[in-house]
Amino acid sequence: MSPTWVYRFDQIDEAQESVDGDWDRVRGLLGGKGANLGEMTRLGIPVPPGFTVTAAACNEYSSRKGTLPDEVWTQVVDAMHATEAQTGRVFGDPSNPLLVACRSGAKFSMPGMMDTVLDIGLNDEVVEGMIRATGNEHFVLDSYRRLIQMFGSVVLDINDEHFERVLTAARERAGVVEDSALTVDDLTAVIDDFKAVVLRRSKAPFPTDPHEQLNASIRAVFESWDGKRAHDYRQAAGIAHDLGTGVNIVAMVFGNYGDDSATGVAMSRNATTGQPGLEGDFLINAQGEDVVAGIRQTRPISELSDVMPEIGAQFAQIAQRLESHYSDMQDMEFTVEQGKLWLLQTRDGKRTAQAAVQIAVDLVAEGVIDVTEAVRRITPAHIESLLHPQFDEPSIREATKIATGLNVSPGAAVGQIAFDPDLAVRWAEEGRTVILVRPETRPDDVHGMLASVGILTSSGGRTSHAALVARQFGRPAVVGASELHINLSSRIVAVGNRQFVEGDWMSIDGGTGSVFAGKVETCEPDLDDPALATLLGWADEIRTLGVRANADEGSDAVRARRLGAEGIGLCRTEHMFFGTDRLPVMQRMITAPTAVERNAAIGELLPFQRHDFAELFRAMDGQPVVIRLLDPPLHEFLPSRDELQMQITDLQLRLRSAPNLETMTSLLEQLDATTTLLAQVDSRRESNPMLGLRGVRLGMQYPEITRIQARAIFEAAAEVAGEGIDARPEVMVPLVCDAAELATQRAVIEGEAAAVMAERDIELPVIIGTMIEVPRAALVAEEIAAHADFFSFGTNDLTQTTFGMSRDDAETSFLSDYLTTGVFEVNPFATLDPKGVGRLIDIALKSARTLTPDLVAGVCGEHGGDPASIALCHDYGLTYVSCSPFRIPVARLAAAHAELAARESADA
């Protein structure tokens, strides 16, 4: 028996049985749209009769290089007969014709990416018959011209511009603005011209056989799965390329039958803010594509009940029912044909990050989902987009607002205007920030939308293509800003009496819908949103992995704690030495010819350090603060060789023309000092500083550097203890490769801590740990652990030293080639490499914990804020991850997801 390639909507039970009842696999088989049309049919919700050709048939079509298997077609024809019986109409019968729509529908929705053909089944005879039957010549001719146009562009691949040109000419001849105002005679002329376009462009007449139209449309939808724009979209959205798409053949229902007909799109909750209540648009006497294309001015769904009270109430009730059935916000398409409501689609609605969080929290409060499910539904990308910058209030007040549109995707975006998507991509590649400005967007524009920081359109509604795509990819967007007059040929946007050309700066606020001239200053986002706080609180209850911050200053530490950090996992002390008041002292310390002079400089640095550490302890009262000893090579604190060389040349020139002895003496002194400094710099030159005198090796060479830092740490702790602060310093030694290094440094630190405690007559915790940043340290971790109270994996260096690749050099040269050619799948400096670096972490941790089973161990490299790496850290059994303050909310959620994934695999 040949496989079942076709399921009618009323055969959803059979489809589900064929995949052992697994709904996810039903969605894979029928596509999301087909599965839900079947499900709605099963629920008794009014759905026009029809059937789905499976995604498996699409894959079969691709593997047979574009040949539709005979069995597929036979099953389609059978299902058409059933649809005829259900509707009481006959496909191709002029006296009582059935028309169908052919709609794509993959497992995951890809708005507008694949093709749709409506009104299949019309030809000259059927048109005549339908006019006789309906008495509505205008409606039938309008449907016919739509079929020829869609079939021409989608199936025959004729550029839609040719059809649009005919329509524009017809409107101009008739002196009307909208297509719907064209008369029967105008439409007849348009149809003739459309047929001529088809004949001229495709070298064949428009096919009059309805079955031929259907067959070609199904094949065109299958082909569109492999089309470039669908491919690009899947790439960006992380959808697998081998899923294939279903094709849904649905009996046509007409929203353009007259004033008792309508069509619309609505979400069961607000997709921008997440607030409860229907949100969407509809049009009286129109077809669905008119709403989505954003060409006609739509009406808000709240007005549906004013025009059609019963339909409005029925739709609201169905929306509610679908939402509770799917336990999620629904995005629905509907049509009203002569007073009867039909649902054409439902799916989980795309939403902004803000709405995602709000809806998840509300659904828990409503008892629809539990806390775990709410946390599961929020992605790290959602949290990231909530961390988008916002416009700074004072700057907004001063900014020139030029227009207002719909606030469809929040966030502030500032960029240069580009009117076409290819230019947006080119400019983005040149490092420019771009706002894509278009009358409306189409699926072909997606690459440009992705390359832009914001999207602005002059037409279209909340469910327009621009709004959907922007929301999905977290791009701030304002749509339907009708005050903007965009002239694509002269590349000018006019608003009021102002004009902007391509390349001019504009700012848009996707949260309010405001459009501003020029650049408006942005600031940090508001993270005190109660729904977000609730959701992250739930994530905290789930996760077992700790989250600390990499913070070097008091203000960073305060922010980190507000964002949920449970301490500081890495304070890079060298950042404290770069301040203009400190650098000269630091340079004096480095260049000191004798120990006495070095100690004097060190003594000057002490108060600075003590002050900075005290700030950190205050911010983190009661939480651990890991302070790493000085790490980089000392030459980083000295001026560059080239700079000194230039100064010397300059001084020599000035010396030659010195006007008097006094100047000459001063110049000579400067020359002498600069030459000495150059010699110092030269003496510290290393051919490979990354592997040279840095990290613990500095402290080994100059124990006084370790001692001063230890003193600053413990004196600061003693100082704040006097203020009632519970300071919990942890001293961390970097770049250790052997246990003896740590043992030596430990003795220095303990000695200094004891001295401070004795001087101040205070007891302080002395916790000393080490970073594991080189492969040898990982391999001898058990020996090192004997001297360590904690480990922290410095995965930046561990990645460099494991791969033998300098991060700075790799990222600016060959690494991008590795990534584009697929030698590396991901950048190992961004996402932890499980095979090499991860394996070393695993080995180190297991062996160290044979000695110290509860050894605290964290990760403090960049990977600590990357969700995929956080999942690995959880699996290795690390105690915490440490990341920059702004990544903390992402890390909290990712850590909860890691725990949920672990629970799931334990259950499986």
Candidates 143, 144, 142; CA nearest to 124 is 144
Per-residue binder mask for ligand PEP (CB under 6 A), 755-774, x = binder: ------------------x-
Helix (H), strand (E) at residue 28? helix 23-43
Take residue 74 and report the two structure tokens written for it. 């036979």
Q: Contact at 8 Å (CB) between 412 and 388? A: yes
Quote the least distance from Cβ 683 to Mg ion, whole Å: 25
The residue among 632, 622, 626 whose CA lies nearest residue 858 is: 626
Per-position x/- string for 597-636, each x denoting binding to ligand PEP as judged by CB under 6 A, each - no binding: ----------------------------------x-----
Provide the token pair at 624. Answer: 């651990």
Question: Is 566 or 797 the residue whose CB approaches ligand PEP more closely?
Answer: 797
For 733, phi and psi rounded to 5 degrees? -100, 125
**How many angstroms from the chain centroid is the CA of residue 131?**
50
CB of 869 to ligand PEP, least distance (A): 12
Tokens of 804: 């033998």
Distances from the Cα of 550 to the Cα of 123, 801, 810, 861, 864, angstroms:
69, 21, 24, 9, 9
DSSP string, 739-770: HHHHHHHHHHHHHHHHHHHHHHT-----EEEE
Helix (H) or strand (E) holding 416: strand 412-418
Q: How far is the CB of 547 from ligand PEP (least distance, A)?
A: 16
Q: How far is the CB of 736 from ligand PEP (least distance, A)?
A: 12
What, of ligand PEP, Mg ion, none, does residue 279 touch, CB below 5 to 8 Å by kind?
none
Distance between CA atoms of residues 741 and 697, nearest Å: 8
CA dist 415 and 405 (Å) reads: 17
Instruction: Between 318 and 772, name the residue whose CB sits nearer to Mg ion.
Output: 772
883 in catalytic set: no
Helices assigned H by DSSP within 563-636: 583-591, 595-619
Please give the span between the terminal C-alpha atoms of the chain, in angstroms, as a whole number: 34
DSSP 549: E
Residue closer to ligand PEP, measured from CB, 281 or 773 = 773
Burial class (CB in 10 A: 0-12, 13-18, 19+), 288: buried
Candidate list 138, 442, 572, 776; residue touching ligand PEP; CB under 6 A: 572
Q: Tell me the number of residues near ligand PEP by CB under 6 A.
A: 10
CB 859 within 8 A of CB 793: yes
> What span, in angstroms and rounded, lies between the C-alpha atoms of 510 and 528?
19
Q: Which CB, 286 or 841, lies closer to ligand PEP? A: 841
CB of 699 to Mg ion, least distance (A): 14
Options 465, 635, 863, 897, the catalytic residue: 465
Q: Which one of 545, 570, 571, 778 is in contact with ligand PEP (CB under 6 A)?
A: 570
Tell me which residues touch Mg ion (CB under 5 A). 773, 794, 797
Closest to ligand PEP by CB, 469 vs 570, is 570
Q: How far is the CB of 737 from Mg ion (least distance, A)?
A: 13
Binding map of ligand PEP across residues 179-218, x = CB under 6 A, - = no contact: ----------------------------------------
To ligand PEP, the closest distance from the beta carbon of 577 in angstroms equals 14
Positions in 472-491 near ligand PEP (CB under 6 A): none
DSSP secondary structure letters along 178-197: SGGG--HHHHHHHHHHHHHH
Cα-based angle 18, 23, 29 (whole degrees, multiple of 5) = 55
Question: Which window, 63-71, 455-463, 645-653, 790-798, contacts ligand PEP (CB under 6 A)?
Answer: 790-798
- What lies within 8 Å, CB to CB, of 706 at 6+ separation is 629, 699, 745, 748, 749, 752
Q: Which of 102, 571, 737, 860 is catalytic?
A: 860
Stretch that binds ligand PEP, among 515-523, 754-762, 788-796, 827-835 (CB under 6 A): 788-796
Nearer to Mg ion, 389 or 836 (CB): 836
What is the C-alpha to C-alpha distance for residues 126 and 876, in angstroms, rounded to an integer? 68
873 is known as an active-site residue: no
- Rounded to the nearest whole angstrom, what is the least distance from the CB of residue 631 to ligand PEP in the complex? 6
Instruction: Output the smallest distance, CB 548 to ligand PEP, in A.
Output: 12
DSSP string computed for 788-808: -SEEEE-HHHHHHHHHT--HH
Q: Which of 273, 796, 806, 884 binds ligand PEP (CB under 6 A)?
A: 796
Q: Which does residue 105 bind out of ligand PEP, Mg ion, none, counting CB within 5 to 8 angstroms by kind?
A: none
HSE of 902, CA atoms in CB hemisphere, 13 A: 18
Among residues 130 and 844, whose Cβ is nearest to ligand PEP? 844
Q: Candidates 67-75, 238-246, 612-620, 791-799 — which segment interacts with ligand PEP by CB under 6 A?
A: 791-799
795: contact with ligand PEP by CB under 6 A: yes
Report, in Å, the least distance between residue 797 CB and Mg ion. 4
Under the binding rule (CB under 6 A), the answer on residue 442 touching ligand PEP is no
Q: Give the chain's largest Cα–Cα span.
A: 114
**Shortest Cβ 794–Mg ion spacing (Å):** 4
Residues paired with 732 in a beta bridge: 628, 769
Q: Which residue is nearest to Mg ion (CB)?
A: 797
Query: CA–CA distance from 757 to each of 314, 753, 761 (Å)?
Result: 77, 6, 5
CB of 793 to ligand PEP, least distance (A): 7
Kind plus residue range of the DSSP H or E element containing 542: helix 530-542
| β-strand partners of 415 | 506
**Residue (40 or 860) nearer to ligand PEP, CB:** 860
Nearer to ligand PEP, 87 or 800 (CB): 800
Three-state secondary structure along 313-372? HHHHHHHHHHHHHHCCCEEEEEEEECCEEEEEEEEECCCCHHHHHHHHHHHHHCCCCCHH
Residue number with CB closer to ligand PEP (457 or 869): 869
Residue with Cβ nearer ligand PEP (633 or 861)? 861
Q: β-strands 624-628, 412-418: how paired?
A: unpaired
- 3-state class (DSSP) for residue 409: strand
Cβ distance to ligand PEP smaller for residue 188 or 796? 796
DSSP classification of residue 151: I
Q: How far is the CB of 828 from ligand PEP (least distance, A)?
A: 12
Q: Which is nearer to ligand PEP, 500 or 829 (CB)?
A: 829
One of 39, 115, 290, 797 touching ligand PEP (CB under 6 A): 797
861 near ligand PEP (CB under 6 A): yes
Q: Which does 795 bind (CB under 5 to 8 A by kind): ligand PEP, Mg ion, none?
A: ligand PEP
Site for ligand PEP, residues 717 to 756, rule: CB under 6 A: none
Q: HSE on the CB side for 383, CA within 13 Å?
A: 26
Instruction: Determine the residue type at 368.
Output: V
In 227-308, alpha helices (H):
228-237, 288-293, 304-307
Name the site residues for ligand PEP (rule: CB under 6 A).
Answer: 570, 572, 631, 773, 794-797, 860-861
Known catalytic residues are: 465, 860
